[in-house]
Amino acid sequence: MTTPFTRRRAAALVTAALLVPLAACGADDEKDAAGTPTTAPGARLTVLAAASLTDVFKTAGAAYERAHPGTKVTFSFAGSQELAAQVRQGAPADALVTADTKTMDGLESDTGTPTVIAKNRLVIATAEGNPEEITGLKDLTRKDLKVVLAAPEVPVGRYGKQVLDAQKLHVRPVSQEPNVRAVLSKVELGEADAGIVYRTDAESATDKVDAVDIPDAQNAVASYPAATLRQSAHADAAAAFVKWLGGPEAQKILGAAGFQQP
């Protein structure tokens, strides 16, 4: 026979048992002092990022994981136009960082509100020691030079075409590559005498290439917007990572790699 006391005690135990998993779920949705969601313990994030971010994002990802124990950030690097195609095809990912605002703007229905996290400029990459004595954009029109550019649908290719057209210079590249790292590789391997790349890419290979500056008046500024993806299965964690990219720790890492402040 049960008494009112035992019934009340049993009900209290059942209620407590039900509250435990709810409390555990709430613990995963951590927020900072400002009430912004932070990465939940054990989050696994996939970030699609422009090829020119390859080196710096490896460093940034490691720093983020150290600051968020249990979190794993995996990057997929490619030309921004390739990343956009992946997003449209529904590739499983949580955030996107492109090397231009045009590509990001074209994905408005697939992303959250983007924020620019860094900027970059163009340089001319040459073989180490600049044996062909290239001094500026006009030299790229020389018939004795093998010049490689990125394809015009690639951000760095579009920026390159923009600066060449502004100077009324016609360059006939020996190849048009799918991303900036492919352009850099051609110069590194001696398959091209010169190529237009981002400053940060040239700085990542100072033991293999030299960089010829392009004057600011002739140059183009590349902006890198970052955004969460609406298809993300980890929306709060993705938002926290994108917010972190604009914060002081990430900005210090980006600055050390040669990127400009947004």
User: Cα(4)–Cα(165) distance, rounded to whole angstroms?
Assistant: 88
Phi then psi for residue 195, to 5 deg, are -160, 155
Closest-CA residue to 102 (of 262, 249, 224, 239): 224
131 and 104 belong to one structural domain? no
Q: 98 lies in which domain range?
A: 44-119+223-256
Cα dihedral 125, 127, 129, 133 sign: negative
What contacts 34, CB < 8 A, 6 or more positions away? Answer: none
102 and 173 belong to one structural domain? no
The reply to whether 156 falls in a domain is: yes
Residue 142: CB atoms within 10 A of its CB come to 14
The reply to whether 23 falls in a domain is: no
124 and 179 belong to one structural domain? yes
Predicted confidence band of residue 1 (pLDDT cuts 50, 70, 90): very low
User: Cα(262)–Cα(133) distance, rounded to whole angstroms?
Assistant: 33
The reply to whether 157 falls in a domain is: yes
Percent of the chain whose predicted confidence (pLDDT) is above 90 = 83
86 and 153 belong to one structural domain? no
109 and 154 belong to one structural domain? no
- pLDDT tens readout for residues 114-126: 999 999 999 999 9
166 and 213 belong to one structural domain? yes
The reply to whether 115 falls in a domain is: yes
141 and 166 belong to one structural domain? yes
The reply to whether 8 falls in a domain is: no
88 and 151 belong to one structural domain? no
User: Cα(234)–Cα(152) distance, rounded to whole angstroms?
Assistant: 34
- pLDDT tens readout for residues 41-60: 568 999 999 999 999 999 99
Q: Which amino acid is at 68?
A: H
50 and 101 belong to one structural domain? yes
- pLDDT tens readout for residues 139-190: 999 999 999 999 999 999 999 999 999 999 999 999 999 999 999 999 999 9
Angle at 157 between CA 152 and CA 163, to 5 degrees: 110
Could you tell me the CATH number of the domain that includes residue 148?
Answer: 3.40.190.10
112 and 229 belong to one structural domain? yes
Q: Mean pLDDT for the chain?
A: 88
H or E element in which residue 48 lies = strand 44-50
Q: Is 165 exposed, middle or buried (0-12, 13-18, 19+ CB in 10 A)?
A: exposed
